[in-house]
Chains A and B, each alone.
Chain A
Amino acid sequence: MSVIIKTREQEFTDRGSRPLYRIMQDLQLSPQAYLAVRDGVLLTGDERIEDGDVVELISVVSGG
């Protein structure tokens, strides 16, 4: 029973069955800094992430 959350640098597993924003809160990832994609579709934070889902978090922050 788990879901996979990937960022550019890291991969996390989570128990899932809860909204994306809760998972991001626990991982201390700012919703401002990422866009979430599941199966090629952009997700809002209230979307429930269910068992077997793979969510890619695309970093939107760039700069030097």
Chain B
Amino acid sequence: MKCKKCDQKAVINLQHHNISFCKEHFLEWMRVQTERVIQKFHMFTKEERLLVAVSGGKDSLSLWDILWQLGYQADGLYLDLGINDFNNYSSDSAEFTRRFAEERGLQLTSMDIKAQYGESIPEMAARTKRGHTKPCSQCGLVKRYLLNKLALDGRYDAIVTAHNLDDEAAFLFANVTHWSLDYLGRQYPLLPATTGFARKAKPFCQIYERESAAYAILSGINYIYTECPYSDGSKQLRNKRYLNMMEDEQPGFKTQFYLGYLRALKAGAFPQQQESAAKLEEKRCAKCGQPTQSDGLCTFCRLVNK
């Protein structure tokens, strides 16, 4: 197989685009694709300050590298979840992230959740009814809250996350199979800032997971290959497997599924979108002031307060 651009031997074949690339041209293609998505959804500009959520994994480090190469002002935020019981997941991923930033002279803010709030994520979750076997829903809540808070405190123009097409398609698949209309109306590559919430962008939303891994490997990025021990047997992994089976049969299936949804959303198929945002603005957390749906404390303050 040969590179579409230079005729050298290809190192990767992208079946859904029906193209193959050598290393150099693949890396270039990834930067071009990412820039295209940023422009297409008017995500942010080179004059704005971005806060990239980095986990030390292939997606976030590849995205951060690309944003940096494209000349965006992108700082990183690493949240240490304190998940070290089975395989040193958190301490290793912190180290991969630290080295990545240092090698490139990038600005990285790290927050150790246990040092800050007295408990690691699994410890916090263990106090809740459902969280003691799997801390994922508490973990997601804490990550979302802190990412938003630190972006607002640091006066960043936008939060950038490395959700790839497979993440988006798997989430969409879950929401479609459950007919979660509320979520369906809100899944979009760009969420504008609202009161108490920073703008959020997902520039990798059209990049396959396989492509972001290939970008990391080919550009020599050392990322954490070990998975969080709690991801084992997750629904998201199962849904990704289903979607990959479809993709194997029908190259481009995942893209079609996701882009089809975005078109339906744009055509007004899910009018819940604005309603739920309006509902949120009514109340404020008594402790931190974040808009919240419940009376008294927001879900984050209730979790860490116990």
Number of interface residues of A (CB under 8 A): 21
In the complex, A16→B140 CA distance in Å? 44
User: Given the complex, which residues of A lie within 8 Å of B136, measured CB to CB?
Assistant: 64
User: Given the complex, which residues of B lie within 8 Å of A43, measured CB to CB?
Assistant: 11
Within 8 A of A (CB), among B178-236: 208-210, 212-214, 217-218, 225, 227-228, 230-231, 234, 236
Within 8 A of B (CB), among A2-34: 8, 30-34
Comparing B111-119, B151-159, B242-250, B257-265, the segment that makes contact with chain A is B242-250
User: Given the complex, which residues of A lie within 8 Å of B247, measured CB to CB?
Assistant: 30, 32
Cross-chain contact A41 with B245 (CB below 8 angstroms) = no
Cross-chain contact A61 with B20 (CB below 8 angstroms) = no
User: Given the complex, which residues of A lie within 8 Å of B15, measured CB to CB?
Assistant: 31
Supposing A42-B217, A63-B237 touch, asked if A31 and B209 sit within 8 A by C-beta, the answer is: no
Interface check A54, CB cutoff 8 A = no
Interface check B122, CB cutoff 8 A = no
| Smallest beta-carbon distance B302→chain A, Å | 23
Supposing A63-B170, A64-B234 touch, asked if A35 and B213 sit within 8 A by C-beta, the answer is: yes
Q: Which residues of A contact B (CB under 8 A)?
A: 8, 30-35, 37, 41-46, 58-64
In the complex, A38→B210 CA distance in Å? 17
Minimal Cβ-Cβ distance residue in B for A34: B210
In the complex, A58→B225 CA distance in Å? 9
In the complex, A58→B166 CA distance in Å? 17
User: Given the complex, which residues of A lie within 8 Å of B57, measured CB to CB?
Assistant: 62
Residue of B20, B210, B245 touching A44 (CB-CB under 8 A): B20
In the complex, A46→B144 CA distance in Å? 42
In the complex, A42→B213 CA distance in Å? 11
